[in-house]
C-alpha cells in the first residue's frame, strides 16, 4: 500500500486547515531527554544566573548536502547571502516559496567548500531535497532523523551539547584547560578533549553567552561527563525537555511557522511528493485564533525578523515577492508580557499555573478588534509571568501598548472565526522581541 501523501490528507480532510486543526493538542517537547532534572524553574534560572547544560542530540533532523552544485542549490532556494559564508560558519537558512512565504527555517552549517549540514525540523530539508531532484542538481544527500523517528532506533550520528549562561565561559575553560579560540557568533572552531575531536559553535540563547559542541556520537558520553565534572564546582544545572522549549520565547526565535506550501496550485506535485505523516501534515494548529484560509497562517521572513539576513545579490525562488514586500510588511514580531494577576486568575484558576507551554495561535485584540496572533507562549520564571512571541500589526507594536490575549480553544470549522465564544481575556503589554535586552543589543554584535 502506497504511503499517503500530504495532498492525500488534505483531500480527505477537505482543506489544509481541517487537516491541521487539532484543539487541545499537546505541545511538542524534545524526545529522549528527561522532562526535568532540577525542576523547570531552577533550570530556567541556570542560564540567567549560572551555567546550564542542554542536550540537543536527539530532536534534530540532520541532512548533509554535498556535491559540486551544493552552494548553487542552497542559493537558488534560499534568501541568504552565500558570497559571505565561510567554512565553519552557520546561518539561519531562509527558504521561501515563489510568493515569499517561508517554508520554515533551519540551521545551515558549511562543513567544507561543497558540503553543508542542514538541521532542525525537516520541512526545509524536504523542500531542498525535492528541488534538487526536480532540478537535476549534482548533489548527494545523507540524513539522520531525530531519535523519535530514526528507522530501527539506534543512536544519533552526532552529539550536540550546549553550555549556556553567565558562567558558561568559566565552565568551558575548566573543561578544556584554557580559553577556546576566539570565534565570532555563529562561527565554529575545532576543539579536542583527550584526543577526541569535535567543534565548538559560538552560540547563545535568551541573551546569554554560550557554546554548542557538535561531534561524533562515539564521543558523546565522554564529552558529557567531562562537562558535568567541570561544571560541578560552578553549580552546573542540566536542562530538561520542559525548560528547553522556553528560551526561544526570550530570544525572539519563532519555531515551526506554518510552511507556505498548502495552497499554491504550482506546489501540487510537491504536496504529492511529501508524506502525510511528517511535520507538514502533523504539526497541529489550535488556539482562539481560527481561519478557514490556511494562507492566514503563512509568515513572511520579514515578519519573523529575518529581514537583515535576506540578500538580493543573487537570484532565488521568491526574490521578486520579497523585494515587493520589503517596505509593505503588515505585521511584526513582538513579545507580549502577560499580566501576572490575570495569569493566576484566568490561566491558573486562582493558583500559580506552574509550567505553561503552548504553540497555539491565540487572538490578540484591542478595542478595535483583532490586531495579531501569538506564536509561542511559555512560563518564564525569572520574569515572574508568561511571555508570548507574537505577530502583531505594526501600528500596535510600540512597546508599552496594552492589548488582550483571548485565552481559549476555537472549535474549528463550522463555527464563525469571529464568534463570541465567551473566552476570557488576559491583559498583556507589548515588549520588544527579543525580550532580553542583552540578546537585542549585544550577543550578535560581532556576527
Dump pLDDT digits (tens) for 237-294: 999 999 999 999 999 999 989 999 999 999 999 999 999 999 999 999 999 999 999 9
- Percent of the chain clearing pLDDT 70 (strictly above): 96
| pLDDT(444) > 50 | no
Cα–Cα distance list, 83 to 76, 87, 313, 330, 357 (Å): 13, 12, 9, 30, 39
pLDDT of residue 329: 94
Which ranges in 177-300 belong to alpha helices (H)? Answer: 220-231, 241-244, 247-251, 268-273, 279-282
Task: State the chain's mean pLDDT as an integer.
Answer: 95
Local confidence band at 1 (pLDDT 50, 70, 90 cut-offs): low
Q: How far apart are CA 244 and CA 445, in angstroms?
A: 25
Dump pLDDT digits (tens) for 114-164: 999 999 999 999 999 999 999 999 999 999 999 988 988 899 999 999 999
User: Average pLDDT, stretch 439-444?
Assistant: 41
Give the DSSP H or E segment for 369: strand 369-380
User: Average pLDDT, stretch 216-222?
Assistant: 98
| pLDDT(197) > 70 | yes
Dump pLDDT digits (tens) for 334-360: 999 999 999 999 999 999 999 999 999
Q: How far apart are CA 146 and CA 59, in angstroms?
A: 5
Residue 301 Ramachandran class (φ > 0 left, ψ -120 to 50 alpha, else beta)? alpha
CB 165, CB 50: distance < 8 Å: yes
SS (H, E, C) 37-98: CCCHHHHHHHHHHCCEEEECCCCCEEEEEECCCHHHHHHHCCCCCCCCCCCCEEEEECCECC
Tell me which residue of 377, 209, 331, 191 sits closest to 200, measured CA to CA: 191
Largest distance between two CA atoms of the chain: 64
pLDDT of residue 209: 66
| pLDDT(389) > 60 | yes
| pLDDT(203) > 70 | yes
Q: What is the pTM of this model?
A: 0.95
H helix count then E strand count, the chain:
14, 18
Give the DSSP H or E segment for 315: none
Q: How far apart are CA 129 and CA 325, in angstroms?
A: 27
Q: How far apart are CA 417 and CA 414, in angstroms?
A: 9
- Percent of the chain clearing pLDDT 90 (strictly above): 92
pLDDT of residue 34: 97
pLDDT of residue 266: 98
Dump pLDDT digits (tens) for 45-104: 999 999 999 999 999 999 999 999 999 999 999 999 999 899 999 999 999 999 999 999
Give the DSSP H or E segment for 122: none
Cα–Cα distance list, 97 to 103, 127, 176, 267, 306 (Å): 7, 10, 44, 9, 15
Q: How far apart are CA 106 and CA 125, in angstroms?
A: 8
Dump pLDDT digits (tens) for 409-420: 999 999 999 999
User: Average pLDDT, stretch 319-345?
Assistant: 96
User: Average pLDDT, stretch 380-392?
Assistant: 96
pLDDT of residue 415: 97
User: Average pLDDT, stretch 313-321?
Assistant: 98
| pLDDT(437) > 80 | no
Local confidence band at 204 (pLDDT 50, 70, 90 cut-offs): low
pLDDT of residue 439: 44
Calculated CA dihedral for residues 296, 301, 302, 306, nearest 10 degrees: 150
pLDDT of residue 14: 98
Amino acid at each position: 500500500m502506497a504511503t499517503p501523501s500530504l495532498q492525500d490528507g488534505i483531500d480527505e480532510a477537505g482543506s489544509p486547515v481541517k487537516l491541521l486543526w487539532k484543539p487541545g493538542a499537546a505541545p511538542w517537547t524534545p524526545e529522549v531527554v528527561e522532562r526535568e532534572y532540577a525542576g523547570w524553574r531552577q533550570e530556567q534560572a541556570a542560564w540567567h544566573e549560572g551555567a546550564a547544560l542542554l542536550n540537543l542530540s536527539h530532536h534534530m533532523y540532520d541532512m548533509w548536502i554535498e556535491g559540486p552544485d551544493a552552494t548553487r542549490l542552497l542559493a537558488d532556494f534560499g534568501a541568504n547571502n552565500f558570497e559571505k559564508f565561510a567554512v565553519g560558519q552557520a546561518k539561519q537558512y531562509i527558504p521561501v516559496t515563489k510568493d515569499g512565504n517561508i517554508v520554515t527555517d533551519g540551521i545551515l552549517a558549511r562543513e567544507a567548500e561543497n558540503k553543508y549540514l542542514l538541521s532542525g525540523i525537516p520541512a526545509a530539508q524536504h523542500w531542498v531535497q525535492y528541488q534538487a531532484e526536480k532540478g537535476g542538481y549534482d548533489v548527494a544527500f545523507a540524513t539522520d532523523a531525530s531519535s523519535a523517528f530514526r528507522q530501527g532506533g539506534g543512536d544519533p550520528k552526532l552529539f550536540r551539547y550546549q553550555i549556556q549562561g553567565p558562567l558558561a565561559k568559566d565552565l568551558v575553560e575548566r573543561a578544556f584547560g584554557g580559553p577556546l579560540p576566539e570565534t565570532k557568533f555563529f562561527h565554529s572552531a575545532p576543539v579536542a578533549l583527550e584526543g577526541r575531536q569535535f567543534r565548538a559553535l559560538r552560540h547563545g540563547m535568551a541573551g546569554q553567552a554560550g557554546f554548542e559542541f557538535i561531534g561524533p556520537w562515539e564521543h558523546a558520553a565522554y564529552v558529557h561527563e567531562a562537562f558535568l565534572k567541570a561544571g560541578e564546582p560552578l553549580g552546573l544545572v542540566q536542562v530538561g525537555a520542559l525548560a528547553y522549549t522556553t528560551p526561544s520565547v526570550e530570544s525572539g526565535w519563532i519555531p515551526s511557522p506554518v510552511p507556505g506550501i498548502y495552497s499554491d496550485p504550482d506546489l501540487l506535485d510537491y504536496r504529492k511528493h511529501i508524506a502525510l505523516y511528517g511535520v507538514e501534515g502533523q504539526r497541529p494548529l489550535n488556539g482562539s485564533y481560527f481561519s478557514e484560509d490556511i494562507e492566514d497562517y503563512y509568515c513572511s521572513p520579514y515578519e519573523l525578523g529575518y529581514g537583515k539576513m535576506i540578500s538580493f545579490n543573487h537570484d532565488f525562488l521568491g526574490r521578486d515577492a520579497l523585494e515587493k514586500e520589503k517596505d509593505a510588511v503588515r505585521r511584526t514580531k513582538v513579545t507580549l508580557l502577560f499580566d501576572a494577576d490575570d495569569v493566576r486568575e484566568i490561566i491558573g484558576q486562582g493558583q500559580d499555573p506552574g509550567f505553561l507551554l503552548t504553540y497555539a495561535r491565540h487572538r490578540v485584540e484591542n478595542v478595535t478588534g483583532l490586531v495579531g496572533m501569538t506564536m509561542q507562549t511559555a512560563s518564564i520564571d525569572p520574569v515572574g509571568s508568561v511571555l508570548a512571541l507574537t505577530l502583531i500589526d505594526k501600528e500596535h507594536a510600540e512597546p508599552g501598548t496594552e492589548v488582550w490575549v483571548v485565552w481559549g480553544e476555537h472549535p474549528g470549522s463550522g463555527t464563525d472565526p469571529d464568534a463570541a465564544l465567551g473566552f476570557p481575556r488576559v491583559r498583556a503589554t507589548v515588549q520588544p522581541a527579543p525580550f532580553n535586552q542583552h540578546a537585542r543589543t549585544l550577543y550578535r554584535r560581532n556576527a
